[in-house]
Structure 1
């Protein structure tokens, strides 16, 4: 899949994850460890190392090659990674859907960056990947992400009890979807 990178907001570029991103991604996770803790699963210490990120990136890029994942990074003009956004569980055929996950660095909050990134990835999912829909979930109290999804045309579709194991506990989540098009998936 050929995906062009480009500026999305405030001098930040959305681009595909690369093998060379291990050190920068490790630094981003270390810098944002406490910021992300309430919203993510517990991570082993190795996750925060360059070697741990290199291994993770290699796995994501293999899945990308197989068509099951589309991993992006948000890169600031100074080269720092200030977030990620990923389409996971890409399914073709009559479902033609994927799940969306993202985060933005603590020092880049409230600048429209998440909204711009989600909107761009939705266009890529529709125009390049040919997906029909994208689903997303948020913890019930994550009103910031819920606002981002609403701004980007996602609609709430329900609540899932004990849906994700986040920060050491099974958590209830609000589920959202965005329909991207109604074309026949065989075309």
Structure 2
């Protein structure tokens, strides 16, 4: 689906412009990909209430996020990058801007068929990811998960053996890091 030519500046439904101009370039950035992955991992085993909170966080980051860069406010959310009209609007003084704090972000309601009245601003993708991890740690889940880059799958850390294997993996990575630091 592609937005109608009579209104190229905004569409309430995600179209191929939204996906290709908004999401694809950002998922190529490792720091943003890590932020998005944290939302996904946190959703595994989460309650319905926590899923709604994570969806709201995703809305105000991956879809309509703003970020500081070189003293300026920049858009990174796909909903902004794919909507010339809302992108221009978001960078004016009209909408409200608040610091990205997940515990406050999850309480915010948002419209899906009009420009956002409020945007959250992150200091960086790394800062947003760190704040998201702190928030995720407060969620009650029956197990913990991690992304395994070697198998490109999610490991559920729900047994002593799996936790020990994960600990050995971390130990090996730390040894490699220590060796690399000796050569820097």
Higher strand proportion: 1
**TM-score of the superposition, structure 1-length normalised?**
0.24
Considering fraction of residues, name the structure with more helix: 2
TM-score by length of 2: 0.24
Question: Rg: which structure is higher?
Answer: 2
